[in-house]
């Protein structure tokens, strides 16, 4: 048995004992529902960084969808979430191979900034905020 295997076995046994003891002694605690981020309307002259951090998207669900389509949908949903209808502007600089990556994403009550950050981390992208646009490009450390 390897050192990793031994530790995994010990941790599994300890986890079982602790969890079992906790279940026997205390009733399960009710977890309060997650609180959604507050809804704030950005000013029409706000920068893209401010807009991305303020606009909240209720639900993003994509199953095995191309990256370019997911980015388009995030832009469209940002316009729907913005009372002024402006949303965010995104400039995408990807190769066809990168744009065609297929991803699955399931997010609820998330800001545009957080959705883009999670997407970028998953797909190997970098995001840069300009005053009037969000620029999405490949991370050169990953895509060569």
Of the chain, the percentage scoring pLDDT greater than 90 comes to 53
Q: Note the pLDDT of residue 23.
A: 43
Out of 17-21, 89-93, 109-113, 138-142, least confident range? 17-21
**DSSP-based three-state secondary structure for 42:** coil
The confidence score (pLDDT) of residue 21 equals 42
> Tell me, what's the pLDDT at 142?
82
Fold of 48-138: Phage tail protein beta-alpha-beta fold (3.55.50)
Q: What is the pLDDT of residues 77-127, one digit of tens each?
A: 999 999 989 999 999 999 888 899 999 999 999 999 999 999 999 999 999
Give the number of other Cβ atoms within 10 Å of residue 58's Cβ.
13
The DSSP code for 131 is S
What confidence score (pLDDT) does residue 39 get?
65
pLDDT at 16 over 70: no
Reading the block at residue 139, the tokens are 């991370």
Quick: pLDDT tens for 26-46: 555 565 555 655 666 677 678
CB neighbour list of residue 136: distance below 8 Å, 6 or more residues apart = 71, 90, 91, 92, 93, 94, 116, 120, 125, 126, 127
Where would I find the beta strands (DSSP E) of 75-133? 90-92, 102-111, 125-129
- Torsion 88-118-36-60 (CA) sign: positive
Q: Does residue 7 have a pLDDT over 70?
A: no
Question: How far is 111 from 84, CA to CA, in rounded Å?
Answer: 17
pLDDT beyond 60 at 15:
no
Mean pLDDT of the chain: 80
**Is the model more confident about 143 or about 57?**
57
């Amino acid at each position: 048995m390897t050192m990793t295997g031994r530790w995994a076995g010990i941790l599994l046994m300890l986890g079982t004992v602790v969890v079992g003891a906790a279940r026997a002694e205390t009733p399960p605690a009710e977890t309060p529902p997650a609180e959604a981020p507050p809804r704030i309307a950005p000013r029409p002259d706000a920068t893209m960084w401010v807009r991305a951090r303020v606009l909240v998207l209720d639900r993003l669900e994509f199953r095995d969808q191309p990256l370019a389509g997911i980015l388009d949908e995030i832009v469209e949903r940002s316009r729907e979430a913005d009372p002024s209808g402006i949303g965010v502007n995104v400039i995408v600089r990807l190769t066809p191979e990168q744009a065609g990556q297929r991803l699955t994403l399931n997010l609820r009550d998330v800001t545009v900034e957080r959705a883009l950050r999670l997407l970028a981390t998953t797909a190997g992208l970098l995001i840069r905020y300009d005053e009037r646009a969000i620029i999405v490009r490949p991370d050169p450390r990953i895509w060569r």
